[in-house]
Structures are given as structure tokens and as C-alpha cells.
Amino acid sequence: MTESKPEIRSGLDGVYFMESAICKVDGANGRLYYYGYPIDELAAESNFEEVSYLLMNGRLPNLSELSSFRERMRAARAIPGEVIDVITELSERSTPMHILSTAVDMIGSLKREGPDRKSTYIEIISELSSVVAAIGSISATGRYTRPEDSLGHIENFLYMLKGERPNKESVEIMERMFILHAEHSSNASTFSAIVTASTLSDIYSSTVSAINTLKGPLHGGADEMALRMLNDMRGKDIARYVDNTIALGGRIMGFGHRVYKSYDPRATIIKGILESVQPKASAEVRELTKTVLSLEAVMRDKVSSKGIWPNVDLFTGPVYRYLDILPELFTPIFAASRAPGWCSHIQEYWKSNKLLRPTVFYTGEVGKRYVPIEKRQGE
């Protein structure tokens, strides 16, 4: 009897696997909400600690709650000495994302996860930023800057990364970048974290799964790839570059999205940041801005009618270059930003956990007979 073939959704496109109250991605209208709050309002008015609290608790905190949450995040900033040693050892032999994955896994192995999962989530959110800053600092200078308790989360991150207190503008820009990258529904890395968590593995292992998924150039690595493309385009005929790339089957990074069929709202905000810093930007950033705006105009004429618009990756690289952040740190910073999103989804899924075990439709043979190796004929 022949088994009828079911509908196969390649890439799980359009497949719903759970309900969630955390994040609404309105792809048709280019809107994004964290627990119902529009992303543009959060980016303009809030801060990363408050958004992390929102994602972990489903509501905004009052002053006392936010103060307590910040204290708990501050208390979790320090990185074990053994982890710093490993980061130092690997800094000349591996990539920042490989180092991040190893360091987070090692932190998990050095700690015993207690019954208070909320504390573990807070620790991971804080630790990831410290680890990323340590990776950047050690790779660039060979030195590790210890956390400074008097500083807020983002200010401390930049202090640990650069070894000096950042200016107000840098903190404000990075605050907004962290908020914009904090959460985005069931993206690939979040889904990977949930798959691992569904086996009732620990939170650190689930986070490591997410980090390794984020690493790919079709996900978190896309902003670094987009910047490489922009650098390659500088000084060239952009329309011809686009045509040649598409003709050869290549991708124009920073455009198109599985969900958004209109302008990515995060890209709108980041583009605004980039345009606002031009009077003080370096020649490199001014040239990158000129290139990316020209590319946007070319692509608008060519593909916007197909629902292909700029995504969050297009303008992220030039903004990070304005902050003098190296491209190899873009994806680790994405991971540090996304930590509260990963943790919030793990927490939500565990409320009614079920092992994630999708089904594949088998198309191979059955009933084949085993032949001893000495009797097999070469093919």
C-alpha cells in the first residue's frame, strides 16, 4: 500500500508549533512588539535592563523592581578566572563566536543550576555581555577589564570592551542596538534554544545551542556579511554590482526577510541612527553610509515590488563601525543582545513542555537484504 505524501513545508515555513505572548512580528505592516509594546517606543524611551525585565516577566517594572533587577544583573557580571584563561588561550586560535560558545558552555559546567531558574536567566543575560566584552578586549589588547559595579549594563559592557568609560552618545546608541536585537519571535536561534530546552536539558546548554545557530551567515552572521559586501561595493557602479551578483546566483545581504514583506522596523530605526551621526562620523563611516543609501535606492527600484526590503542587518554594520567595533564582534554582540529573548522563550516553553520531535516523510527503499562484505559487488 502506497503511503500518501503529506504537505512538506520546506524550512518549516508557515508551520506553527506553539502559542506565545512574548513577541508579535507583523511582517505585512512592518511592525514589531515586545509583549505588546511597539519597538520604536521601547528603543526611544526604554533601556536594556528594563526591556530584559519586560521579556522575563511579561510587564514593565516599577522603580523598585527595576532597581532590584539591575542589582541582580550587576551581581552576575563577573566571569570565572578559568573562563578568562580559556578566552585568552583561544583568542589567537579561534573565532569570537566559537570562543563565545565555549566560554558560555564552560560557565554552565562550573555552576550547579539551582531551582530558581529566574536567577539563572538573569545571570546568563549579564554573563553573555561580559564574555563578549572580554573576547573583544582580549583579542584586541591581550587585557581583560574587570566589570565596574557603578556602571549600568550597557555602559559597563562598553567599558569592559574598550577599557575606558564610554561617552554618553556611545551608550545611548548601543542601548538602542541591544533593545532592537533583544527579541524576534521564533527565529532560528530561538527555535534551536527551545528544541534543546524541550529535552529538559539545562538553560546554559540551550543557550549554547542558540549561540551556535546564530553564528550562521543566514542568521546572526548576516550583518558582518552585509558590511563586507558594502566595503566591496565602495566606489563601484552599484546597480551593475547588484545585477552581476544576482545573475551569478549570489545574495544581496541586508535585504529580504522570511517574515517581513515590508520595511523592517528595526532597520528604520538603525538607519535613523546612522544618518544622525554623519556630522561626526569618520571618512570610513561616511563612505559606508553613502554606499548603503545608494544600494537601498537601487534595490528599492529593483525588488521592493516583490516585498523585498531592507532588514535589520543592512545598517547595523556601519553603526557599529561608527562605535569603532570590529566586524568579527558583530555576531557576538547580537548574541549578548538576544540573551533575554532566548531566556524568555525557554521559560515560556517550559510552562507546558513537550519534547519537540518533528516527522519526516521517508522516500527511500524498504526490505533490502543484508549482503556480507565479501560477497558485495563494486558499484
Per-residue confidence (pLDDT) for residue 258, from 0 to 100: 87
Contact 217, 97 (CB under 8 A): no
**Gap between the Cα atoms of 322 and 316, Å rounded:** 10
Compute φ and ψ for 165, nearest 5 degrees.
-65, 130
Domains in the chain: boundaries: 19-216+331-352, 222-322
Per-residue confidence (pLDDT) for residue 248, from 0 to 100: 93
Tell me the average pLDDT of the chain: 95
- pTM, two decimal places: 0.94
**Gap between the Cα atoms of 99 and 126, Å rounded:** 17
Task: Answer yes or no: is pLDDT of 375 > 70.
Answer: yes
- Summarised one tens digit per residue, pLDDT across range 309-363 is 999 999 999 999 999 999 999 999 999 999 999 999 999 999 999 999 999 999 9
- Summarised one tens digit per residue, pLDDT across range 232-245 is 999 899 999 999 99
CATH assignment of 222-322, among 1.20.1730.10, 3.40.47.10, 1.10.230.10, 3.10.105.10: 1.10.230.10
Mean pLDDT of 28-34: 96
Count CA within 13 A, CB hemisphere, residue 189.
33
Task: Answer yes or no: is pLDDT of 308 > 70.
Answer: yes
Task: Answer yes or no: is pLDDT of 125 > 60.
Answer: yes
In CATH terms, the superfamily for domain 19-216+331-352 is Citrate Synthase, domain 1 (1.10.580.10)
Task: Answer yes or no: is pLDDT of 4 > 90.
Answer: no
Share of the chain above pLDDT 70, in %: 99
Count CA within 13 A, CB hemisphere, residue 16.
3
- The grid coordinates listed for 322 are 561608527
Share of the chain above pLDDT 90, in %: 91
Treating both helix axes as pointing N-terminal to C-terminal, what angle do 63-75 and 117-141 enclose, rounded to 10 degrees?
A: 50
The DSSP bridge partners found for residue 26 are: 31
Nearest CA among 11, 20, 4, 31 for reference residue 263: 31
- Summarised one tens digit per residue, pLDDT across range 13-25 is 888 899 999 999 9
Mean pLDDT of 174-194: 97
Contact 17, 355 (CB under 8 A): no
How far from 82 is each of 105, 109, 128, 271, 362, CA to CA, in Å?
12, 11, 16, 40, 47
Residues 6+ apart with CB under 8 A from 182: 34, 48, 51, 52, 55, 337, 338, 340, 341
Q: How deeply is 99 buried, as exposed, middle or buried, from its count of CB atoms within 10 A (0-12, 13-18, 19+)? A: buried
Per-residue confidence (pLDDT) for residue 116, from 0 to 100: 84
Per-residue confidence (pLDDT) for residue 191, from 0 to 100: 97
- The grid coordinates listed for 187 are 527565529
- Summarised one tens digit per residue, pLDDT across range 191-229 is 999 999 999 999 999 999 999 999 999 899 999 999 999
- The grid coordinates listed for 64 are 523598585
Contact 23, 33 (CB under 8 A): yes
Per-residue confidence (pLDDT) for residue 2, from 0 to 100: 65
**Gap between the Cα atoms of 254 and 308, Å rounded:** 10
pLDDT tier, 379 (very low <50, low <70, confident <90, very high otherwise): low
| CA-based max dimension of the chain | 78
Mean pLDDT of 82-103: 97
- The grid coordinates listed for 190 are 530561538
Task: Answer yes or no: is pLDDT of 62 > 80.
Answer: yes
Residues 6+ apart with CB under 8 A from 12: 358
Per-residue confidence (pLDDT) for residue 11, from 0 to 100: 84
Nearest CA among 144, 182, 133, 165 for reference residue 32: 182
The DSSP bridge partners found for residue 33 are: 24, 38
Which of the residues are catalytic? 219, 257, 313
Task: Answer yes or no: is pLDDT of 113 > 80.
Answer: no
